[in-house]
Chain A
Amino acid sequence: MCTVCGCGGAGHPPTENAQDHIHRHDHDHDHHHHPHDYHDDSHPHGHRYRHRHDHLHDHPHVPDHDHLTHPEPQLMTAALAIEAHHTHAPGVDPARMVRIEQDILAENNRYAEANRALFAERGILALNLVSSPGSGKTTLLVKTIEALKNRYPIAVIEGDQQTAFDAERIRATGVAAVQINTGKGCHLDAHQVGHALEKLPLPPRTLLFIENVGNLVCPAGFDLGEAAKVVLLSVTEGEDKPLKYPDIFAASALMVVTKSDLLAHVDFDLTKATEYARRVQPQIETIVLSARSGEGFNQWLAWIETHVSRLAKSIVA
């Protein structure tokens, strides 16, 4: 409800002519044909949406209106003309506008850069493994560690909502692992990773694997300070996932198609999966493997080695 005049609250219909006080949520924009009756108690506090019009007054409507379902039809996009100098209720002091211009992800990015600086200082290659739950991240890691642990120091950060199952599986290989439990959280963030790093031995040239929470959506937006994201897609998940979940594939340098030993038993179009991934990220590489049968595994190891030596060269140079 309007906090100035109280309109829109229970028993108070919205005022008709609300030009004379701060009542910006009644604007009737000609692009829309929405009923103006969203002042009910369930409506959160008059949130408003506006487009920066500038030169684009005739532009087609922004897409989020077209293909998002609105559970509450009242909560809709109403494009309002931006008025820097709106009128005020008589007798009420105008509120002060304080410019902030602060990036919302700035804090996470700061922690991520701190992690990145630590990695650079010690020549650590950090890889952020992302995928749906059950794609085979931990199994891939276990096999990778078995193949490489005599050649590189290795450390692992595990992320799950609950349990330490994955960290225990890693430790069983003889390598140090820290488990982060996010509780309700659905992704790891750089702050959590920074704390986990404090608990790990990280000699120079360590191979650091960060196994993110199983989730094809949220981890995409959170930089952990890694050198690259590696997205896993198992053959039981369907080849259309890169298009359905583009952000995470676009954020990844490598797509590892896992469980290739099951290809005979599922309908999975590998050509399409690769094409779709390249559509959202032209630079993405693809490796197809099976941790179980070993097929394609050498390519994965070779990819890691390439990135290790690139890192080594960049430090020397």
Chain B
Amino acid sequence: MHEMALAERIVHIAQAQASAQGAGAIRSVIVEVGALSCVAPEALAFCFSAVARQTLAEGAALVIETIPGQAFCPACEKIVPIQARFDPCPFCGSYGLQPRAGTELRVAAIEID
């Protein structure tokens, strides 16, 4: 996935909400990043700092909340935990699992002054 474009979106969303709330500054932005989403959290944090310069989000901390992955295994017919998007089923080893949780990419909240 593309962390720079995503960071721009995060700053945009945070700024829009902060302005609407009449905030003077944003202290932190809490984002939910699913373990199965195509995002590298460290790259996102780096890009966020760069993009936030000269915006209301400048200096804000990016808090990345990782949401664990779960997927449906057609062979086991049940939902199983997985660490990464294309992992095989931890029980039966088959591929082609369908993600059910952990694909989130969301600005959950902002902390403002």
Chain A residues with a Cβ under 8 A of chain B? 3, 25, 44-52, 54, 56, 59-60, 62-64, 68, 70, 75, 77, 82, 93, 95-105, 107-108, 185-187, 189, 217-218, 220-222, 246-247, 250, 278-282
In the complex, what's the smallest C-beta–C-beta distance from A3 to chain B, in angstroms?
Answer: 6
Chain B residues with a Cβ under 8 A of chain A? 1-2, 5-6, 9-10, 12-14, 17-18, 21, 23, 27-28, 31, 35, 38, 40-42, 45-46, 48-49, 59-68, 81, 83-86, 95-96, 104-113
Tell me the complex Cα distance, A82–B17, Å.
23
In the complex, what's the smallest C-beta–C-beta distance from A69 to chain B, in angstroms?
Answer: 10
- Do A279 and B86 touch across chains, with their CB atoms under 8 A apart? yes
Residues of A within 8 A of B1 (CB): 217-218, 220-221, 247
- From A47, A52, A98, A187, B112 is in contact (CB under 8 Å) with A98
Tell me the complex Cα distance, A96–B26, Å.
10
Tell me the complex Cα distance, A208–B62, Å.
40
Tell me the complex Cα distance, A93–B111, Å.
12
Residues of B within 8 A of A75 (CB): 42, 45
In the complex, what's the smallest C-beta–C-beta distance from B26 to chain A, in angstroms?
Answer: 9
Tell me the complex Cα distance, A222–B104, Å.
15
| CB-nearest residue of chain B to A219 | B2
- Do A280 and B86 touch across chains, with their CB atoms under 8 A apart? yes
- Do B63 and A50 touch across chains, with their CB atoms under 8 A apart? yes
- Do A279 and B95 touch across chains, with their CB atoms under 8 A apart? yes
| CB-nearest residue of chain B to A103 | B106
